[in-house]
Structure 1
Amino acid sequence: MKTKILIPVLCLLFSSALFAQGGRLLKEKKEELKSVKVAFITDALDLTTAEAQKFWPVYNKFEDDQFALRQQKMEAYKDRMNDGSLETMTEKEAVTMLGQMEETEADLYQLKKKLIADLKTIIPAKKIILLKKAEEDFNRKLLQQYRKKRDK
């Protein structure tokens, strides 16, 4: 449960900090972070060259699709939550918004299921499980680094 909350929060914090520094710097930092993540996951999964060549296009497409879905659907929720209208929201509007949020979560779940199905043809099941752990470890490490920088 913590991971479900942690990943979007990390993405939001990371992207907010980078946007504040400008577009070019954002792109550079994003690419740097992606490179570090690729190295981290490749090492954690101990991917062979053949596995890596097939794995990364599938994984990158998943990440792009997931990002696009979150951008598209979550933006509306964020705006609604930050514009002060939650206090004046009717029960009917809240039910509608909750339904939309559930639909978004279901879409994200379907993306993850597709990723697993696609990866089963590329790497062993054990490495797919290790991928989940590696993603969580990477996000935890990223959060720790953020906290260290923030506390300085």
Structure 2
Amino acid sequence: MKYLLRSFWAFLLLATVSWSASAQTPAARQGRLNQLENAKIAYITEKVSLTQDQAQKFWPVYNDFSTKRRELNRQMRQLRTTNLDALSDQQIKDGLGQAMDLREQEVKLEKEYFGKFQKILSIRQVGKLYGAEREFTREVIKRVADRRGGAGRSFTPSGQLDN
């Protein structure tokens, strides 16, 4: 069973990262995002060892958390895309204040859902969840970089810059 789950998410992950983003239609991009999401579900389900009962309770809560976290991250990216040279000092100060407020909202959201996750999962499973999210993200980034030929510089697992 573990082998099937691992193979399933690996296949979906590879299929997802193998496309060229510039050549995609919006429908194709959405399909790839759905594949990536399915791979993430399979990965987390395996790593956290969710029972069927836990999965039925967990995934709606996790999806709600992910949606809210994604919205906060979208707002943060919007703040970063502004050309600082075109802004006054007050506008920069206001933008930095908004960024700090968004980070506070993200921490508050994480604390709220930490409590919700504990009502569904054991504390060990919650810990595994956070680790699995990081591992999945690292794996996706690594595979995207590998598909692009490893262009540019990257960090080694120890955090050192690799030329």
Structure 1: 4+ residue segments shifted above 6 A: none
1:145 corresponds to 2:148: no
Alignment counterpart, residue 134 of structure 1, candidates 132, 135, 142: 132
- 2-structure distance, mates of 1:100, 1:19: 32
Count of residue pairs the alignment pairs up: 132
Unmatched 5+ stretches in structure 1: 1-13
User: What are the superposed Cα offsets for residues 25-65 of structure 1, whole Å, 9 maximum, x if unpaired?
Assistant: 11100110001000000000011111111111100110111
The answer for the alignment partner of 1:68 in structure 2 is 71
The SS at the match of 2:64 is helix
Q: Name the TM-score, length of structure 2 as normaliser.
A: 0.74
The answer for the alignment partner of 2:79 in structure 1 is 77
1:48 corresponds to 2:46: no
User: What are the superposed Cα offsets for residues 77-102 of structure 1, whole Å, 9 maximum, x if unpaired?
Assistant: 1431xxxx312433222211110000
Q: Name the TM-score, length of structure 1 as normaliser.
A: 0.79
The answer for the alignment partner of 1:109 in structure 2 is 107
Structure 1 residues 20, 111: CA separation in 2 closer, same or farther (over 3 Å shift)?
farther
The answer for the alignment partner of 1:11 in structure 2 is none
Unmatched 5+ stretches in structure 2: 1-16, 151-163
Specify the structure having the higher radius of gyration (Cα): 2
Query: How big is the alpha-carbon RMSD for the aligned residues of Structure 1 and Structure 2?
Result: 1.8
Structure 1 residues 147, 115: CA separation in 2 closer, same or farther (over 3 Å shift)?
same
Query: Do the aligned partners of 1:55 and 1:122 also contact (CA within 8 Å) in 2?
Result: yes
The SS at the match of 1:87 is helix
Identity of aligned residues (%): 26
Task: Give the partner amino acid of 2:79.
Answer: Y
The answer for the alignment partner of 2:122 in structure 1 is 124
Q: Which has the higher helix share?
A: 1
The answer for the alignment partner of 1:32 in structure 2 is 35
User: Comparing both chains, which one has the higher relative contact order based on Cα–Cα distances under 8 Å and sequence gaps of 6 or more?
Assistant: 1
